[in-house]
Chain A
């Protein structure tokens, strides 16, 4: 099989996607923090939903950072 090297623009785009993913993972701390604050104020429903927001954002970031498929 001939290994084709992707063009430089594609490589740059992949790096950009990974950096965005890392930024999303770190940004997810904000809703997690809000979830803990809401939990502290006994606001359980708000805490649950803020936790969902953080969970989804961190997973979006994780999806962009994690390795490509091995095959």
Chain B
């Protein structure tokens, strides 16, 4: 089964789901004026433009999906509600968060798949006579940073959380406190393991790595901004 075309269909569908949840539902629920509706239409148009560009210009499509579309959604939300965004209950928030995460993952999937459509010049040059490139100058520092992040996630952060949490549990909550700490420690440990595998693989792999790309770093930063805005929005919607 060829899944290469799947993100081209999946991403606009998930983007439309995000649009419904983050623009349409809030607008319908609070009788918004014309400006937010125009901004909502604009963001839908941007989503369509991203879908249209996904075949020929994947980098433009990525910019539209991960940069301009979320910004226009945010502008729409601000114009519609000011400082009071739509109120979803807890399961609703989980659904919205899952949809946004799936949309970002699908756009990243589409972008990573777009490398395959580049003409196969790389195939000839990967059997190069000049041999493998020397290790980069900061690889050791990168590995040290990787280990530091992993250790902090697995050990230091749960310990710090436990100190902070123990201040709130003075009497009679020992079992509850242990349960919470087990949860936090498990979360930190799994994050550390995941981080070690992915970052270690990127820093130490022997096979030719995919070319380092500033565009991908920008995409990650855009995605982090969107996730941060989402978290801020959800935290303040309660």
Contacts and interface: CB of A to CB of B under 8 A. Distances in A.
Interface of A: 1, 15, 17-18, 21-22, 25-26, 28-29, 31-33, 35-37, 39-40, 42, 44-54, 56-71
Contacts of B101: 48, 52
A42 to B, nearest CB: 8
A51 B223 contact: no
B187 A57 contact: no
SS class, residues of chain A in contact with chain B: helix
Contacts of B125: 71
A5 B133 CA distance: 15
B118 interface: no
B120 interface: no
Chain B interface category by residue count: 35 or more
A21 B101 CA distance: 23
Given A32-B153, A46-B231, A52-B227, A62 B199 contact: yes
B230 A49 contact: yes
A12 B212 CA distance: 17
B122 A71 contact: yes
B157 interface: yes
A46 B183 contact: no
Contacts of A17: 214
Interface in B130-148: 130, 132-133, 135-139, 141-142, 145-146, 148
B165 interface: yes
B148 A26 contact: yes
B93 interface: yes
Interface stretch (B12-20, B77-85, B202-210): B202-210
A37 B184 CA distance: 8
Contact of B138 (A18, A50, A54, A56): A18
A52 to B, nearest CB: 4
Given A29-B153, A66-B203, A68-B133, 12 more contacts: A36-B187, A37-B164, A40-B180, A42-B180, A50-B231, A61-B217, A63-B220, A67-B133, A68-B209, A69-B209, A69-B212, A71-B125
Nearest to B223: A56
Contact of A49 (B97, B148, B157, B195): B97
26 contacts: A21-B142, A21-B217, A22-B145, A25-B149, A32-B157, A39-B184, A40-B180, A44-B94, A46-B231, A49-B227, A50-B231, A53-B231, A57-B221, A62-B199, A62-B202, A63-B213, A63-B216, A64-B217, A65-B141, A65-B203, A66-B136, A67-B209, A68-B133, A70-B126, A70-B132, A70-B209
